Each structure stands twice: as C-alpha cells, then as structure tokens.
Structure 1
Amino acid sequence: MTPEEVRAARDRLVPDVVAGGLHVLFCGINPSLMTAATGHHFAHPGNRFWPVLHLSGFTPRQLKPSEQGLLPGYGLGITNVVARATARADELGREEFREGGRVLSAKVAELSPVWLAVVGVTAYRTAFGERGARIGPQERTIGGARVWTLPNPSGLNAHWTVSTMAEEYARLLAAVRHDTSEQSRQ
C-alpha cells in the first residue's frame, strides 16, 4: 500500500464482520485509514487487537486482519462506534460519537450478540453518556447485550501492554464461557 492509497481511504466505510448468534461483538472506535484502505479491521501494523485476541484465548491462533472472516465461526464479530475512517480518533466530534452510539444500539438489537465489547472506554463514555465508566463489565445493556469495555488496542495506547490487555480480554472470555455453560444447563 502506498501512502497515497492509505490517505485516499479517509471517510471510507468498512463493512462489519457480523453474523447472527455471536457471543461477542467487538466494537472499535472507528476504522483507521489502513483499515479502510485494506478493508480489514484493526489492520494497522501497530494495532495489537489480533495478538491480544489470540493471547486471551478467543482464537486458537493469531489471525491476520485478512482472516477476519473466520471470526463468526468463533462466535465473534467486529463493528465500530463511528463508521467513517480517519487518521486519528480525535478527528471525531462528540455528536458523531453520540450518533454512532444510537446506530450501534440499533445494530446490536438486530444482531443480538450476548456481549458488546467496546474497545476504548473513552469512546464508550462519549457515545453512551457514561462518564464514570471504567474498563470491565458495565451495569447497562445495549440493544439487549451485556456490555464490557476493553482497552483500546491501538499502539498509541501506551498505558496497556499486550500482556495486560490479554488479561483483560481473558476476563471477558471467562464471562462468555460462564454464560455459555449457564445456557447449556437450562
């Protein structure tokens, strides 16, 4: 990919990776220019989503962004709070996040995942007016799904390492497995 091709991806939309019956719908902030240029979520080389997804136990091996289509087979999907691609998330306005939250709520209600995992607590706070939200499970549901906020896997998020992010994602996986075992007993 040339720098010009990446820059030309500004404002493009990237299709969600979704299916019915998802255990977890991961929700990014918005697509990066690299994601929009390639059509693959979390495609920027500095993004740690794919290694963390594997290290936490969600996938049996580390997938490449180009293998995102395998996720529904694991009960996983990907969407974004805001659909349009930007170079940086700080290019998005507060109202754009709020509108993204409304669109996301409708999407989650339609898809009915068990969990909505928002990767970026600040995006969650802004989109849903939850100023006190912290990383971890949330009290509210969105579109019928339970909500868990996770650390943003962007390489710009220096507060979290791959290891500490994988631990937090693994906490969500434990909740998913608990839910699954509860449902199978009913």
Structure 2
Amino acid sequence: MAAEGLRVLFCGINPGLMSAATGHHFARPGNRFWPVLHRSGFTPRQLRPDEEQELLAHGLGITNVVARASARADELSPEEYAEGGRLLAEKVARLRPRWLAVVGVTAYRAAFADRTAKVGPQERTIGGARVWVLPNPSGLNAHWTAASMAEEFARLREAAAGADGHGGAVSATTPSS
C-alpha cells in the first residue's frame, strides 16, 4: 500500500525471515521497532506488526531499502543496497514524505554511498524528503538500548511535528526484519 504526503516514511533494511513469512514489517519477536515507536511518542499505544496499517492514521509509512528477505542483513550484497537506494529514492519522490527515516546507519551508508553518515539528521535530501538515520532496532544491535533508541526516535518525531504538529503511515512494500 502506498500513500502520498506522509509525515515520516520509515525504511527498514530488508525483510527478515519472520517478516517475510508473516507479511509484516519488523515481525521478529526480539525486534524493538514497535516498542520504540510507541515509547518515542509516534503512536498512542504499542502496535503489533499485524497492525502496521494503523500507522497511516498517524502520517507514518513503512518500507525497506532491499526487498529480498534474508536471515541477516549482512547477507545482502553492495549491489543490492545500491539498487535498493536507487529504487527507494524513486519511491520517496513519488510518495513525497516530509522525512525519510532509514532504520540502520550501515544500511544508509551502503544504499546511499555515504561512508561518514551517523545516526541523526542528514544534510542531504532524497527524493525531496529530509533524511534522518535511526539506530537499527534489531535485538542484535546491543549498542543501543530501547531507551536510547526511543530518545533518537523522539528527536525525529519532534522535528517532523514542526510543520503541522501531527503525523500518518503506509506499508509500501515487503516487510522489514
């Protein structure tokens, strides 16, 4: 499903095997995306992966850099990331979200050839959208706690609310890990 004019389009790396099996983004039980999204104030309650369509009511969307499912993101090739970045830029230009939030600095660096990118707002725009790189909510990313991730997500929420004070969502391709 696609929608235009979103406040934030979240972009995972690629579907994990559980997400591919269920057809829902961030479906693996240990993934912290849904709890962090709620804890940061983007949603009034913690959504389940099978409730992802409710993001639309909050001006939020969800997609991936790479459509191919894998057990781990490190199974993706540099070519897949580059092609995924190109296709994502086209999608963003078409959907026109205000912010593109790439969930995972390594994926952002690989997809957009930006080796120096760090978590936080980026100088560049993609498809006309401002860009914010968020920490990867995978349970494998122990460097970031749920609390510190929620703080970073909340920084994005505050920046995205600047223009009109409210939000909305889309499920725009296959699910994220």
TM above 0.5, yes or no, is: yes
Deviations 1:70-95 (A, max 9, x none): 01110001000001110000000011
What amino acid maps onto 1:64 in structure 2?
Answer: R
Following TM superposition, where does structure 1 have runs of at least 4 consecutive aligned residues deviating by more than 3 angstroms? none
Larger RCO: Structure 1 or Structure 2 (Cα < 8 Å, ≥ 6 residues apart)? 2
Residues matched between the structures, number: 165
Whether the 8 Å contact between 1:57 and 1:170 is mirrored in structure 2 is yes
Deviations 1:111-166 (A, max 9, x none): 00000000000100011011100000000000000000000000000000100000
- TM superposition shift of 1:21: 1.8
For residues 73 and 105 of structure 1, what CA distance do their matches in structure 2 show? 24
1:69 matched to 2:53? The reply is yes
Please name the residue that 2:62 is paired with: 78
- TM superposition shift of 1:25: 0.2
- TM superposition shift of 1:178: 1.1
Structure 2, unaligned runs of 5 or more: 166-177
Please name the residue that 2:4 is paired with: 20
SS at match of 1:137: strand
Equivalent pairs: percent with the same residue? 72
Match among 81, 94, 101 for residue 85 of structure 2: 101
Whether the 8 Å contact between 1:81 and 1:101 is mirrored in structure 2 is yes
For residues 34 and 163 of structure 2, what CA distance do their matches in structure 1 show? 23
For residues 61 and 20 of structure 1, what CA distance do their matches in structure 2 show? 24
Report the TM-score, using the length of structure 1 for normalisation: 0.87
Match among 102, 110, 117 for residue 133 of structure 1: 117
Report the TM-score, using the length of structure 2 for normalisation: 0.92
- TM superposition shift of 1:177: 1.1
Whether the 8 Å contact between 1:18 and 1:76 is mirrored in structure 2 is no
- TM superposition shift of 1:20: 1.4
Larger radius of gyration: 1
What amino acid maps onto 1:111 in structure 2?
Answer: L
- Indicate the structure with greater helix content: 1
